[in-house]
Homo-oligomer: A and B are copies of this chain.
Amino acid sequence: MEVKVLTIREDILGANTEIARRNQERLDKHRVLTVNVMSSPGAGKTSLILQTIGKLKEKARIAVIEGDIASTIDADKVHQQGVPVIQINTAGGCHLDANMTENALDNLPLEEVDLLLIENVGNLVCPAEFALGEHTKVMLSSVSEGDDKPCKYPLMFTETDVVLVNKIDLLPYLDFNVSEFNKAITGLNPRVRIFQVSCKTGEGLQAWFSWLEDEIEQMKNHHGKNINS
């Protein structure tokens, strides 16, 4: 029975990859830089998204997809910021997938969006396996989770393009070795970009905003080139 499950699992992942590819083509067409935001529960995904909206909404047209097992708590907070938001409730599912994302894209005015932030379900395991069509994978790792997370959940740290080490305002009260943590991440993923931030105090976020603005700009230029070539 185990083999049977694995086969079907491969089918699921294969079908997911195909839909993710279709989603990305659609997002490329509309020049929507799309970021898949992942982390453990309570590591600060929604806080990061709210901070990013607050800083960049005058410069870029932002939309959000909120993935949750239950509730609309996060989507309500985003909605109050005046940006389009779609809530996906997974009804127990432990990650977003490309099909759910496609349904959400059907309900967003993509021609009027420059940056799409997708908040995945809080889970350090399963979301890493399912592409949604995003251009960039971003993960948050809260210092309160401890500095052994890269060793214990390697796939997420290997798959991501960016790690935001969040809640650095709590560092004085924790046993957390920043340099060992960074070393473990770059050992798994040498090309990863790491930002030390506090979404609560705002410390360190400017570097993240600047990086994201560059990415949005590159998406516009890159796509312009494709059209003209």
Contact = CB atoms under 8 A, between A and B. Distances in A.
Interface of A: 1, 4-5, 8, 11-12, 15, 40-43, 68-71, 73-74, 92, 94, 121-126, 129, 142, 144-146, 148-149, 151-155, 167, 169-170, 173
A149 B42 contact: yes
A148 B47 CA distance: 13
A152 B12 contact: no
B42 A154 contact: no
Q: How many copies does the complex hold?
A: 2
B125 A70 contact: no
A148 B71 CA distance: 10
Which of A40, A92, A121 neighbours the largest number of chain B CB atoms within 10 Å of its CB?
A40
Contacts of A125: 69, 92, 94, 121, 123, 126
Contacts of A42: 40, 142, 144-146, 148-149
A122 B40 contact: yes
Given A40-B122, A144-B142, A145-B41, A73 B151 contact: yes
A48 B134 CA distance: 38
A94 B145 CA distance: 17
A176 to B, nearest CB: 10
A41 B156 CA distance: 12
A15 B1 CA distance: 10
Contacts of A123: 94, 123-125
A4 B142 CA distance: 38
